[in-house]
Amino acid sequence: MVATACRYSPLLLLALMWEAAVRTGLISDLVLPPFSAAVEGWWDLAVTGDLFPQAFASLRRAALGLGLAIALGTTAGILMAWNAKIRVFINPLIQMFYPLPKSALIPVTILWFGLGDMSKIVLIFIGCLLPIVVSSFNGARGVEDVLVWSARSLGASRRQVLWQIVVPAAMPEILTGIRTALAISFVLLVSSEFIIARDGIGFMIAGFGEEGVYDRMFACIMTVVAMGFFADRLFQLFMRRVLIWRE
């Protein structure tokens, strides 16, 4: 507890510097509300406004898109490693779409799926899919031959080898890929909500920015930052539990 407080104390220092810079007039409060005002704005939004429902709507989009990408991406990646014929057909598509900055798809997803949830979920799904496919493929392909062989000589069938050897051996890389995808999902979420949306935390940030309500804008930004941070922390905890054998 104390150690954590100590570790994160520079953040507090940063907040104090922010507060002081505005209070002393070093930075005009027209372009930067003092930290305390942002905290107050957050509190107002939290108790009276709809900060939490909006944040939840956003989280739901990210979770659905990412969840779909995990389900399909890990399957496709492992199958690609497992079967050379499948690989020949999927790989070119991956090579083609991998380098595309996925934010370029925002206008099209809106064109196809409208302004609501669907367009964001699809965008996040597409954006997260490829990193997960690629990392699952690399993980599954990197499995050492001797592990597969020893499972086979211990009586495992080819299908059992897939589940009992290939999947766990690939797990570290799969989880690393999912962690990358998690970060991408937040970027695409906020971006697409900035560009066209009717609700969501990104929509709120953009809206308060346009109206010039900067304390609330900063409050929402801090909320998104916290969401990204805690999602990643939780996932890291999960990763560590799953991968205890790596110690």
Partner 1 sequence: MTSDGAAPRVALPDPGAVALSALFWKVAPAIPIVGLFALWQILSASGAFNPYLMPEVPAVFRRVALELVNGEFLLNAGATLYRALAGFLIAAALAVTIGIAMARIRIVHWFFDPILSVGFPMPKVAFLPVFMLWFGAYDASKITLIAFASFFAIAVNTVAGTQGVDRHLVWSARSLGASERKILWTVILPAALPQILTGFQIALPLAMIVTIVTEMLMGGVGLGGAMIRAQRFADSIGVFSGIVQIGFTGFVVIFTMRWLRRRLLSWHEEAKR
Partner 2 sequence: MATGAAIAVENVSHHYRPPKKRPVHALDQVSLEVGDREFVALLGPSGCGKSTLLYLIGGFMPIESGSIRVNGNLVTGPGPDRGVVFQHFALFPWKTVLGNVLYGLENIGVPREEARERAQKYIDMVHLTGFEDAYPNQLSGGMKQRAAIARTLAIDPDILLMDEPFGALDAQTRGLMQEELLSIWQRTRKTVLFVTHDVREAVYLAERVVMMTARPGRIMESVDTRFDEAGPGVMDRPEFVEKASYIWNRIKGEAIATVAARAS
- Beta carbon of residue 178, minimum distance to partner 2 (angstroms, whole number): 17
Q: How far is CA 21 from CA 14, 27, 36, 203, 222, in A?
A: 10, 6, 12, 29, 19
In angstroms, what is the minimal distance from the CB of 128 to partner 1?
12
Pick the closer one to partner 2 by CB: 1 or 244.
Answer: 244
Residue type, 49: G
CA–CA dist 196, 109 (Å, integer): 11
Which position among 214, 215, 216, 219 is part of the footprint of partner 1 (CB under 8 A)? 214
Find the angle CA(177)-CA(230)-CA(239) to the nearest 5 degrees.
40
Residue whose C-alpha is closest to residue 160's, from 82, 86, 77: 82
Position 125 contacts partner 1 (CB under 8 A): no
- H or E stretch covering 93: helix 84-97
Residue 8 or 238 with smaller CB distance to partner 1: 8
Q: Does 195 bind partner 1 (CB under 8 A)?
A: yes
91 touches, from partner 1, partner 2, none (C-beta below 5 to 8 Å by class): partner 1
The 3-state DSSP class for residue 144 equals coil
Residue 229 binds which entry of partner 2, partner 1, none, CB below 5-8 Å type-dependent: partner 1
Taking CB under 8 A as the criterion, the residue among 22, 190, 197, 219 binding partner 1 is 190
Is 77 a binding residue for partner 1 by CB under 8 A? The answer is: no
Rounded to a whole number of angstroms, the minimum distance from the CB of residue 85 to partner 1 is 8
- What Cα–Cα distance (Å) separates residue 90 from each residue in 129, 133, 157? 13, 10, 26
CB 106 within 8 Å of CB 191: yes
Q: How many residues sit in the footprint of partner 1 (CB under 8 A)?
A: 60
- Residue 91 engages partner 1 in binding (rule: CB under 8 A): yes
Nearer to partner 1, 117 or 218 (CB): 218
Report in angstroms how near the CB of residue 225 gets to partner 2 at its nearest.
Answer: 34
Are 165 and 156 a contacting pair, CB within 8 Å? yes
Q: Which amino acid, one-letter code, is at 24?
A: T
Least distance (Å) between residue 99 CB and partner 2: 24
Residues 219, 38: contact at Cβ < 8 Å?
yes
For partner 1, the closer of residues 9 and 83 by Cβ is: 9
How far is 100 from 123, CA to CA, in rounded Å?
13
* Secondary structure class of 192 (helix, strand, coil): helix
Kindly list the residues in this chain that would bind partner 1 in the complex (CB under 8 A). 7-11, 13-14, 31, 88-93, 96-108, 110-112, 152, 158, 180, 182-184, 186-191, 194-195, 202, 205-206, 208-209, 214, 217-218, 221, 224-225, 228-229, 231-233
